[in-house]
Chain A
Amino acid sequence: MLDNFTIVNRGGLCLYSYQPSASVFHGVGLHPVDALISNVLLEGHASSAASPYIVGSFACKWHLDNNVGLVYVAVYRHAFPIRYVDDLLDSVPAAFESHYSAAASKPKAPSPTNIDDFDETFKDLLLRAETAAEAAKRAGKAGKANKGKASEGKASKAKTSHAKGKAEALPDADEAAGDEASGDGDGGDGDGGDVPDGKPMTPAEKRKAAMARLKARKGGKGGKGSKGGRGKGGKASRGKEASSPAVSTKKRGKVMRTKNKLSKADEEALAASLAMNADGSSASARKQALAREADEEALDIEVVKGGVALGDIADELSSSSEGGPDPLEDGDDAGSSSKPKATTGLFSLFQTLTGNKTLAEEDLEPVMAALAQRLEERNVASEVAHALTESVASNLIGQTLPSMTSVKYAAKQALTEALTRILTPRRKIDVIREAHAAREAGKVYSIVMMGVNGVGKSTSLSKICYWLRQNGFSVLIAACDTFRSGAISQLQTHGKRLGVDVYEQGYGGDPAAVAKAAIGRAVREGIDVVLIDTAGRMVKNSPLMKALAKLVEVNLPDLILFVGEALVGNDGVDQLMGFRQALIDHGTTSRNIDGIVLSKFDSVDDKVGASVSMVHASGGIPIVLVGTGQNYTDIKGFSVKGVVKALMK
């Protein structure tokens, strides 16, 4: 069941909300829509709308309409996925936009008034989608019973039920499907497997992808399409006549099939047959009425019900019923080549000057590729660079460019903003402030440093120690690197220089126990802060990772810092995610990495991308401190502005 459907503008005003049960989100904490906006849409993860975002027991799917600045969100129980969510997210935006431009004089400026009567339209769309999905599901079951014969039957059924938009149409459809299945047995069994009952919930993206694939495999898919079309024809004729047309349909089906295997050369024949089918379906009086009532839209939505293979063709079917002699060619042209044509050359320049240019994917692709490359050159992990630019592009497509702005400039601007947003920490970690608060509460503040070998854990720790000492805190260092020989004496050297005690129990001990004992001593002696140094370890070393998780679990440190090198590219992300995952896998507490210390920042010049990779991939773990040299004083705060500037210059 759909728990909530919300249309919200970018300013946060809820323009329409459908929620059958008023109390469904009580006690959930953050409303799923709010969670989606603040955790996904504002964090540069918006590119992959194909997979739902999960908040608690709810799942959200969304659609961005950048031209009018609206977000459509559907919320449902994630344990009960809904088949028709994608259909709904496809059909509602168009309906809402037409509704809304009719209601408001200026379609570009969402006026929150006059749109209250959208409820009816929405419920109608919802009912349609529901019944269609239901029909598709039942058709799928029938198809199973008939061993894959029902691919036509389903298409016809989906069409029937959809065009009618009512459940009462279903019995008819079922009948038709049954007839169809038995009559067209030969035609169906070849491709029945291609249209399993799960297909109707294929996401919109997949359909688009399939559309692209279709261009490559026109002939092969055409076969299915013709079948779908023929199914309708067959059913229509059967509605009135006896079984003889069924035979002829079958024959035609076979002819078609062999032809389709020859692919290219038969497109015209196929087109002709499609057109014929369209005629066929309008032959019977009832179907005529249906066709008139539902025409193109019906076909469109039928696409969704019919699944990938049928769907793609049905698009073309609709264009063929519009009378194009070569529907397949037409369909392709409309999809791919007409847009770029319109936006090249002088016309595009003119549009830029007048500020009427609407950004399309084709415009953004080269610019975004260039920007992604630039990010990669600045050491941003390649997957992060691509995810980021894709997310920025998905936020730009459909927007209208301001006048005198080039696509490149707009894209750069948007990326700059996205980077700033991502790097700006959601929760500011102020070590001094928190240590101060702990001291006032009479507690010991404990910090754990972790990371792989040689990234500078001990050095960073000594710098933090110096900084804390400067601010009047008493510090104890816990030497929990009981693994690497020389680790303890290294810390003792630091401790001597800084005038800080080092708590150690020699090599080979249990790090968790050492840390526990150190904290215990700090409590007894009234020391403010305990800095816990751990052994460097590789993510794949599972015994050591378990030991680390145990240390965290036993001591529940107030701050867990991951030390990462600023030099690394893709590795940094893997390391961070590995540590995080290990703490989740091996630990039972919810404690995890709170922040990142970026070491060796002085050695990277403008290749500051590691910071972006780590923050983005980890979903917003902030960079707390930056190490910039060999001295105790070489520790700095992280400047978002500076890093963004270095990345974008």
Chain B
Amino acid sequence: MDWLLFLPKLVAEATPEWILDAPLAMAGLPTTDLCRTYVVAAVMVVVAGQVAYSLRTSSVRRRGSCVVLLGESGTGKTTLFQVAVAGGDSSALRKCHTSMEENRGLLPLEWLNAQSTAGPAAPSARRYTFRAALPVLDLPGHPSLRYKLHQAVSSAAAVVFVVDAVAAADAKVLRVTAEHLFTVMKEPAMVANATPLLVFCNKADVPSACSPLALENALADEISTLIDMHTSRLEDTDGEDPDAAAQAAALAALRPPSARFDFAAVPYTVRFTAGAALTGQGVDDLREFVSHAFAQ
């Protein structure tokens, strides 16, 4: 017993007496050395518990709890954000302009557990459904604000990458989009945390919109080129990049065994879905995707 109290005793002796006497006086205990030692010991136990708890939670769920909306400027992220936060209701949409700052909100989810996902809408399964909400972050797409991407992706539980399926028919837009998507995909946090990625092909209500399958193929082609080109990249003037090794590892994980890049071969889930934020189409897919990601 004595050896257990050795450290608290030392601390208690080093601490001015009045600090330790105050709680003792309040509890009505005698102000002896032993009692002071107990006070210190109690404090230390609580602190140690806190530290252990925070360590444990951080190691168990390294992924954040946030849904991050990414994509080029003007693809409809903020509109999708509004619809998602409103629970798929697109009646009260506000017009959007280029964002200067991120929008934050809560994405209401019907968090379906194992039973309810197995049997679709069985009345008994309904009982296991409970409601939850996830924070959702809508990051501005303007290229000058791209530096915020790294931190956002690190704290993401799931990433939704919004593509303008109408504009992406243009080769230039497609190239820029692919570059952005590749930047997201090779983030070390994506690979390390296996963060699921949903590519939301927005504006599917417009007749000239590309299908998700066509976009998937086109983007895969572009990304194969990008991976090839990556080796030709010049070293930055910065020199010491702290997470250069992590980036290299992430890139290696993306590099396909065969010549062509394939989204299916990526070490985390990548799904493509068509939708239209303006009409609320596809938002259910998004919610389902997110709830799966969170339940994993």
Q: Does A303 contact B (CB under 8 A)?
A: no
Give the size of the chain A interface in residues (CB under 8 angstroms): 50
Q: Give a binary string over B93-114; 1 marks a CB under 8 Å from any A CB, 0 the rest.
A: 0111111111100000000000
Contact A432 B232 (CB under 8 A): yes
Q: Total interface residues on B, using CB and 8 Å?
A: 36
| A424 in contact with B237 given A12-B96, A12-B99 (CB within 8 Å) | no
Given the known inter-chain contacts A424-B144, A433-B229, please indicate yes or no for A13 contacting B234, CB distance below 8 A: no
Contacts of B94 in A (CB 8 A): 13-15, 112
A14 to B101, CA, bound (A): 13
Task: Identify whether the interface residues of A are mostly helix, strand, loop, or mixed.
Answer: mixed
**Nearest chain-A residue to B183 (Cβ)?**
A428
Contacting pair B143 A424 (CB below 8 A): yes
B145 interfacial contact with A, CB 8 Å: yes
Q: Of all chain A residues, which has the CB nearest B145?
A: A421
The CA-CA distance from A642 to B242 in the complex, in Å, is: 12
Whole-angstrom distance between the alpha carbons of A8 and B73 in the complex?
A: 16
A21 interface contact, C-beta 8 A: no
- Please, which residues of chain B bring their CB within 8 A of the CB of A17? 95
Bound Cα distance from A601 to B234, whole angstroms: 15
Q: Is A436 at the interface (CB under 8 A from chain B)?
A: yes
What are 13 A-B pairs at a CB distance below 8 A? Answer: A10-B99, A11-B100, A14-B94, A15-B94, A17-B95, A33-B98, A37-B97, A38-B142, A433-B225, A636-B235, A636-B236, A637-B233, A638-B236
Query: Are A12 and B78 in contact (CB-based, < 8 A)?
Result: yes
A42/B237 contact (C-beta < 8 A), A11-B102, A12-B78, A37-B97 known: no
A424 contacts B236, C-beta separation under 8 Å:
no
Known: A421-B145, A639-B238, A641-B238. A12 touches B140 (CB 8 A): yes
Chain B interface SS verdict (over half): loop
Q: Is the CB of B103 within 8 A of A11?
A: yes
Q: Contact at A38–B98, with CB atoms within 8 Å? A: yes
Residue numbers of B with Cβ under 8 A of A are 73-74, 78, 82, 92, 94-103, 138, 140, 142-147, 175, 179, 225-226, 229, 232-239
The smallest beta-carbon distance between A402 and chain B, in angstroms, is 15
B97 touches A31 (CB 8 A): yes
> B152 to chain A: closest CB distance in Å?
14
Q: Are B101 and A10 in contact (CB under 8 A)?
A: yes
- Mark A633-645 against chain B: 1 for CB-CB distance below 8 A, else 0: 0011111111100
> Contact: B232 with A426, CB < 8 Å?
no
Give the complex CA separation of A628 and B234 in angstroms.
12
Decide if A113 is an interface residue (CB 8 Å cutoff). yes
Bound: A424/B101 CA distance, A:
16
Checking A34, A432, A470, A636 against B74 with a beta-carbon cut-off of 8 angstroms, the contacting residue is A34
When the two chains form their complex, are residues B234 and A69 in contact, meaning their CB atoms are under 8 A apart? no
Considering only residues 479-511 of chain A, those with a C-beta below 8 Å from chain B are none
A13-B103, A34-B98 given; A424·B147 CB < 8 A: yes
A residues in contact with B142, CB < 8 Å: 38, 42
A5-29 contacts to B, CB under 8 A, are: 6, 8, 10-15, 17
The answer on a CB contact under 8 Å between A421 and B144 is yes
Q: Are A14 and B97 in contact (CB under 8 A)?
A: yes
Measured CA separation A628–B232 after assembly (Å): 18
The answer, yes or no, to whether A41 is at the interface (CB within 8 Å) is yes
Complex CA–CA separation, A38 to B145 (angstroms): 10
**B100 near A41: Cβ-Cβ < 8 Å:** yes
Residues of B within 8 A of A58 (CB): none
**Do A11 and B74 touch across chains, with their CB atoms under 8 A apart?**
no
Q: Say how far B265's CB is from chain A's closest CB, in angstroms.
A: 23
- Please measure, in the bound complex, the distance between the C-alpha atom of A636 and the C-alpha atom of B238, giving whole angstroms: 9
A649 contacts partner chain B, Cβ-Cβ < 8 Å:
no
Report Cα–Cα, A37/B92, bound state, in Å: 24
Is the CB–CB distance between B101 and A635 below 8 Å?
Answer: no
**B104 nearest in chain A by CB position:** A11
Could you mark each residue 32-74 of chain A with 1 if its beta carbon is under 8 Å from any beta carbon of chain B, else 0?
Answer: 0110011001110000000000000000000000000101000
Q: Report the bound CA distance from A15 to B95 in whole Å.
A: 8
Residues on B with beta carbons closer than 8 Å to the beta carbon of A432: 229, 232-233
How close is B135's CB to chain A, nearest CB, in angstroms? 14
Distance, CA A112 to CA B93, complexed state (A): 9
